[in-house]
Structure 1
Amino acid sequence: MSTQLSEQSYEMEADPDVYKTLLESTRAIPWKIDWKTLRFTYIGPQIESLLGWQRDSWRSVDDWAERMHPDDRKWVVDFCVSQSQEGSDHEADYRALKSDGSYLWIRDVVHVLRNEQGEVDALIGFMFDIDERKKVEQERDCLRQELEELSYKDCLTGVANRRMLDQVLEQEWMDARRNCQPLSLVIIDIDYFKQYNDSFGHFKGDECLRQVASLLADSACRARDVVARFGGEEFVLVLPQTDAHAALTVAERCFAALQDANIPHPASPVSSQLTLSCGVATCLPNHRNSLDDFLEQADKALYKAKDGSRNCIVVAEN
């Protein structure tokens, strides 16, 4: 009995039609390329149902490269060629062009065959349809990015939160120190915001905070400038590569924008509309000063404005 099974197994191994049937019954697409001519010597019939191209249209590696998304083509071709030249098995994910003009994510798994002299003789491999898997991965990555962005945003106003502010300040301080460039801070407090809430209610107060945050973000118009909610009704503008004069200009622009918005605040002792108190500080970071000292300098300027007439800007003394 065992002898009969052995003979049947040998017959299967020796029959190329068996291998062909097995290969062509899988969902993966088998293929083979002659290394010297870089032409396909075989590609499975599954290619027609997957990508729509006729089997006989896959003549050389040029057809393979041309039927690839332009954004993927260069790195995939360069990578696969270099790995093949080194005789290393490899795999690559890319978007393959379908005959209808759409794209499908493919994973190409490549095995390098050598001749008796150890030279690369042929490449054989399988193309796998990984389109659904890629879509799931991309959706997961988008969700992760959204969650990460939310973790750095103030949920009420949409500007940066305290966590993001701390990281930005640390980074900009180090950059300013390394490049010998000025760094400026503008700390802003909404005047008599408690009275605003008492007059209009917290729902209207939240709307007011969102409006002020938007005005501040528009006033700090450079891409690298950061507007963050420091807490409650306080906001901070981080202004890299900004000297004292330019920082004062930004603060004045914030005041002008709020004045133009003309948000009523009848309970305010200083004005019939919403106003701000503002502290401005500028520093050229070096080994003799610290970020904490800089923050304290800006904070003292703010409280000097609040202890005075409010509705004003105080620039910290260097």
Structure 2
Amino acid sequence: MRNTGDIFMNKPAAGAAHAREESESAFDFDPDVYRTLLESTLAIPWRIDWATMTFAYIGPQIEPLLGWPQDSWKTVDDWAARIHEEDRQRVVDFCVSQSMAGVDHEADYRALTRDNGYVWIRDVVHVVRDEKGEVESLVGFMFDITERKKSEQELLDMQRRLEALSFEDGLTGAANRRLFDRQLKTEWKAACRYGTTLSAILIDLDHFKQFNDRYGHIAGDECLIRVAAALGKAGRRPRDVIARFGGEEFVILLPETDAEAALYLAERCREVIGELQIPHESSPCGSMVTASIGVGTTTPTIEASAREFLTGVDRLLYAAKQAGRDRIVSDTI
């Protein structure tokens, strides 16, 4: 390795040379002191010769941090090979383009350790030019930002959990009305744009007030939890939304689903609720919990509205109740 003071102060531009002369005069510059300062900091100093793309210097701090010996950092290929494969192309392309343009820059990436782990690094790079303005070398510092990245990730995870909770029904774990309304609006716009169908299923547990009166509200909550779980296993796809609509009502939003497929899923929902065999001795519909279901399908247009569609599905649910409950009523809207 070359002398640290020579490496970092070699071939400065005219202005930099003048500044160095003033600095040396004012502080009685000593290369050994400079080396000590560089090698005692937690940051890892380095210098790359631009013409040969080789390391002129890298601080000894690199070995305790990553495990790779100081003298193993010979070329930029060694640096690139020790970047996590998921970050490598992005970081290399960015740093090369910025360096060629003569622009100071910084990059965050995962550096591989010798024992197959990784450390988050922030590389801060300064481009050194010669008297002609040509790129002569790159000098910089590597900083270990692993703890900072962990804190950022923890904060991001917390934000995601809070967001998920804001869209989740606190009792059943199904989506809540807020999420349903948002997705209905989104899917309605998408269906208008692409001319696809949209279906919705409204499910109301029959005579649920009588259930609560007979078995108590704790049992009623447990019933809702079990029904929500059963509906979640009835055949939903990734874009489908199963939400608690309010009280003992659930709604299922079905993008790109025709009337036949929606009716099939509604029948399956009615079956899985029946398979739970939850006793309901106070129900005129039978001895077990049952459900009335309305199923509506439409091809959205900009002239119509999602609210009107949902009102139409609610009317179908009401028709199922009026017809004696424990049944399905479906139609196109």
Task: Tell me if TM exceeds 0.5.
Answer: yes
**Is 2:247 aligned against 1:265?**
no
Secondary structure at the aligned position of 1:279 is classed as strand
What is the CA distance between 1:268 and its match in structure 2? 0.7
Q: Tell me the amino acid that sits aligned with residue 171 of structure 2.
A: L
Cα offsets for 1:220-248 (capped at 9, x unmatched): 42111110111111111000001111110
Residue of structure 2 equivalent to 1:3: none
Cα offsets for 1:122-142 (capped at 9, x unmatched): 110000011111111111111
Q: 1: distance between equivalents of 2:158 and 2:23?
A: 54
Q: Tell me the amino acid that sits aligned with residue 316 of structure 1.
A: D
Name structure 2 gaps, 5 residues minimum: 1-20
Q: Tell me the amino acid that sits aligned with residue 210 of structure 1.
A: I
Cα offsets for 1:50-108 (capped at 9, x unmatched): 11211100001111111111111111111111111111111111111112221111110
Contact 1:177–1:284 at 8 Å: present in 2 too? yes
Name structure 1 gaps, 5 residues minimum: 1-5
Residue of structure 1 equivalent to 2:54: 39
Q: Tell me the amino acid that sits aligned with residue 276 of structure 2.
A: A
Structure 1 residues 95-134: aligned runs within 5 Å: 95-134=110-149
Q: Tell me the amino acid that sits aligned with residue 200 of structure 1.
A: Y
> TM-score if structure 1 supplies the norm length?
0.95
Residue of structure 1 equivalent to 2:237: 222
Residue of structure 2 equivalent to 1:172: 187
Q: 1: distance between equivalents of 2:58 and 2:213?
A: 76
**Is 2:329 aligned against 1:314?**
yes
Identical amino acids, percent of aligned pairs: 57
Q: 2: distance between equivalents of 1:68 and 1:88?
A: 22
Q: 2: distance between equivalents of 1:210 and 1:130?
A: 44
After the TM superposition, which segments of 4 or more aligned residues of structure 1 sit over 2 Å from their partners? 6-9, 11-18
Superposed CA RMSD: 1.6
Secondary structure at the aligned position of 1:219 is classed as coil
Residue of structure 2 equivalent to 1:28: 43
Which of 78, 83, 90 is 1:68 aligned to?
A: 83
What is the CA distance between 1:9 and its match in structure 2? 5.4
Q: Tell me the amino acid that sits aligned with residue 190 of structure 2.
A: D
Residue of structure 2 equivalent to 1:94: 109
Q: Tell me the amino acid that sits aligned with residue 273 of structure 1.
A: M
Which of 89, 92, 106 is 1:77 aligned to?
A: 92
Structure 1 residues 162-241: aligned runs within 5 Å: 162-241=177-256
Q: Tell me the amino acid that sits aligned with residue 242 of structure 1.
A: T
Q: Tell me the amino acid that sits aligned with residue 309 of structure 1.
A: G
> TM-score if structure 2 supplies the norm length?
0.91
Moved more, 280-289 or 173-182: 280-289
Q: 2: distance between equivalents of 1:219 and 1:88?
A: 57
Cα offsets for 1:173-227 (capped at 9, x unmatched): 0001100000001011011111111222111111111111111111142111110
